[in-house]
Amino acid sequence: NMPDSDLDVQFKEELRKKKSDSRYIEMQRFREKLPSHSMRKELVNLINNSRVTVISGETGCGKTTQVTQFILDDYIERGKGSSCRIVCTQPRRISAISVAERVAAERAESCGNGKSTGYQIRLESRLPRRQGSILYCTTGIVLQWLQSDKQLSSVSHVILDEVHERNLQSDVLMAIIKDLLNVRLDLKIILMSATLNAEKFSDYFDSCP
């Protein structure tokens, strides 16, 4: 995505206004109770300073719904919101939908409709805006995109969630993304796992943090 200074200002202003929206405030109170919240600064720094980051945390710690928002809001707050387009893969279609709906609710927005968060699965989508956005989708969707855009040129961050649930599609995607890192020097990859075998995945990407 080409940076767009007008959008950067617009996104920052929208986020500032939300902070006085009662629905947003209520959602923030809930978010602050999640275990992942205490790691926010640390995670954002780690992701900003690494090309590949591995995050392992138990189911329920909030990583699937929170890490995407930590990244996007950090970009928006730094006035770089338009350069951020996060794609987060889910192993199941139902989780892509439910997580996107949850994140949109936490952001006091509707899901899709050109807002910040949406989903895309086979035969169904509620797409967010193109820049300054979070898209939850199935692995197959990203593989499909790669056929027409081999470098995922409009995407800034690819999050592979539940990487411990390995299957053929996710193994293929991981291999492609590993190669893509040689070409897209600005691309950020985040691997998320509920189990502690994260080392196996960081070894695969040449021992990233």
Question: How confident is the model at residue 152, as a pLDDT?
Answer: 97
pLDDT digits (tens, 9 = 90+) for 133-184: 999 999 999 999 999 999 999 999 999 999 888 889 999 999 999 999 999 9
Q: Quote the tokens at residue 209.
A: 């943090």
Whole-prediction pTM value? 0.94
List, in order of start, the domains of the chain with CATH numbers: 5-205 (3.40.50.300)
Question: How confident is the model at residue 173, as a pLDDT?
Answer: 96
Could you tell me which residue, 199 or 148, shows the higher pLDDT? 148
202 pLDDT tier (thresholds 50, 70, 90): low
Show the DSSP H helices in 50-92 as ranges: 63-77
Contact 152, 182 (CB under 8 A): no
DSSP string, 139-204: HHHHHHHHHH-TT-TT-SEEEE-STTS--HHHHHHHHHHHHHTTT-TT-EEEEEESSSTHHHHHHH
Distance CA 119, CA 154 (A): 16
pLDDT digits (tens, 9 = 90+) for 87-125: 999 999 999 999 999 999 999 999 999 999 999 999 999
Contact 97, 119 (CB under 8 A): yes
209 pLDDT tier (thresholds 50, 70, 90): very low
Question: How confident is the model at residue 77, as a pLDDT?
Answer: 98
pLDDT digits (tens, 9 = 90+) for 36-87: 999 999 999 999 999 999 998 887 788 999 999 999 999 999 999 999 999 9
Q: How far is CA 174 from the centre of its chain?
A: 16
